[in-house]
Amino acid sequence: MEPMALTLLILSLAAATYLLRLLPMITLSRTELPAWARDWLGLVPGAVLAASLFQTLFIQDGHYALTWRNVYLLAAVPTFLVAWRTRNMIWTMLTGMVSFALLQRLIF
């Protein structure tokens, strides 16, 4: 693919993504949502995160990976504990990266 065509494709996709996020925000900022809708929308980020984490932690190569050799799952344990105890994003991310790196070196 030519560099100019690739650049235009990337810019077009970026603009489409931006508009898909901006239009609902503009529309919903002018209306008052009922309490049940606000409560329901508040649960969406956690549900998306849980679905993404489940696939990463428990499924590898299309099969359940509940073994001691699953580095992702093992690194998630101390990361979850740090997140739960500190509620600090930086410490949680650092714990996850260090745990994953150390476990990957130890197991593989």
Note whether 67 and 92 are same-domain residues.
yes
SS (H, E, C) 21-47: HHHHHHHHHCCCCCHHHHHHHHHHHHH
**Can you give the pLDDT at residue 60?**
87
Note whether 103 and 50 are same-domain residues.
yes
**pLDDT per residue as tens digits for the range 59-76:** 988 899 999 889 999 999
Note whether 71 and 103 are same-domain residues.
yes
CA dihedral 55, 94, 76, 72 (to 10 degrees): 60
With a cut of 80, say whether residue 17 has pLDDT above it.
Answer: yes
Note whether 15 and 51 are same-domain residues.
no
Cα four-point dihedral sign 93, 94, 98, 103 = negative
Note whether 70 and 100 are same-domain residues.
yes
**Domain assignment of residue 8, given as a range:** 1-31
**pLDDT per residue as tens digits for the range 85-107:** 999 999 999 999 999 999 999 98
**Structural domain includes residue 37:** no
**Structural domain includes residue 22:** yes
What is the rounded CA–CA span in Å between residue 89 and residue 34? 31
